């Protein structure tokens, strides 16, 4: 069989199960992440609130929460949910964005700083994911068969220019020429 299948194709076939395994693990990670984020939903008097899942969310964002923070978050979550359910101001909220605004208005983002950090992370996730997806979509236009040997730095620079083309379109060509002449 090794005589029939060239080495490059054989390596691709061997790598394929690893690719599917990585995608499967990534899908499981995002499913868990979204399930944990859903526990912050303020609708129906915080009906989906789950103490353990919110602690798990903090563990998933381990760069943002130290071991000490996790212990403090456990305590804050108890007080937070008790306070939210008893406070009439938080009863009519429809989504996490409104929750964040109301927490800032009521100064609860200071009182429950670790819970508010979870809320912020929940709000940033869709934006970060969309930005990454846009970058990968742009890559097919930048890294073509004719330009497949470009280095990482050049690829990164080209992708930034492509993704942020609206900003670059507002820069006058004359300003760019003068900048390069000055160099």
Q: Which of 133, 140, 136, 142 is nearest to 162 (CA)?
A: 142
Q: Is residue 162 part of a domain?
A: yes
For 18-28, b/e burial (b = at least 16 CB within 10 A) is eeeeeeeeeee
For the cut 90, the answer to whether the pLDDT of residue 20 exceeds it is no
Q: What are phi and psi of 91, to 5 degrees?
A: -75, -30
Q: Is residue 132 part of a domain?
A: no
Q: Is residue 130 part of a domain?
A: no
For the cut 50, the answer to whether the pLDDT of residue 21 exceeds it is no
| 24 and 113, same domain (yes or no) | yes
pTM above 0.85, yes or no: no
| 33 and 110, same domain (yes or no) | yes
Determine the straight-line distance between the first and last CA of the chain, rounded to whole angstroms.
58
Residue found under tokens 């939903």 = 41
Q: Which domain holds residue 112?
A: 7-125
Total structural domains within the chain: 2
Q: What are phi and psi of 182, to 5 degrees?
A: -70, -25
112: burial class by Cβ within 10 Å (0-12, 13-18, 19+)? Answer: buried
For the cut 80, the answer to whether the pLDDT of residue 57 exceeds it is yes
| 19 and 97, same domain (yes or no) | yes
Query: What pLDDT, in 10s, does the model give residues 115-130?
Result: 999 998 888 876 555 5
* DSSP calls for 52-109: HHHHHHHHHTTTT--HHHHHHHHHHHHHHHHHHHH-GGGTT--SHHHHHHHHHHTTHH
Instruction: Tell me the mean pLDDT in the region 29-37.
Output: 80
| 49 and 81, same domain (yes or no) | yes
Alpha-carbon distance of 156 to 131, in angstroms, equals 14
Query: What pLDDT, in 10s, does the model give residues 93-111?
Result: 888 888 999 999 999 999 9
Q: Is residue 121 part of a domain?
A: yes
| 20 and 97, same domain (yes or no) | yes
Query: What pLDDT, in 10s, does the model give residues 123-180?
Result: 887 655 555 566 666 666 666 666 667 777 777 777 777 777 788 788 788 888 888 8
Q: Is residue 183 part of a domain?
A: yes
For the cut 60, the answer to whether the pLDDT of residue 10 exceeds it is no
């Amino acid at each position: 069989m090794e005589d029939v299948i060239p080495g490059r194709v054989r390596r691709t076939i061997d790598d394929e199960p690893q690719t599917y395994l990585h995608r499967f693990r990534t899908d499981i990670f995002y499913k868990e992440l979204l399930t944990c984020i859903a526990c912050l939903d303020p609708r129906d008097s915080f009906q989906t609130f789950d103490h353990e899942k919110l602690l798990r969310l903090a563990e998933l964002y381990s760069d943002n929460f130290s071991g000490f923070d996790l212990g403090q978050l456990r305590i804050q979550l108890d007080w937070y949910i008790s306070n939210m359910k008893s406070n009439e101001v938080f009863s009519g909220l429809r989504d996490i964005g409104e929750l964040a605004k109301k927490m800032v208005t009521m100064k609860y983002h200071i009182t429950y700083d670790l819970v508010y950090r979870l809320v912020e992370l929940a709000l940033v996730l869709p934006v970060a994911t969309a930005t990454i997806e846009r970058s990968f979509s742009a890559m097919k236009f930048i890294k073509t068969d004719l330009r497949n040997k470009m280095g990482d730095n050049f690829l990164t620079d080209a992708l930034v220019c492509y993704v942020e083309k609206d900003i670059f379109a507002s820069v006058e060509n004359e300003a760019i020429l003068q900048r390069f002449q000055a160099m």
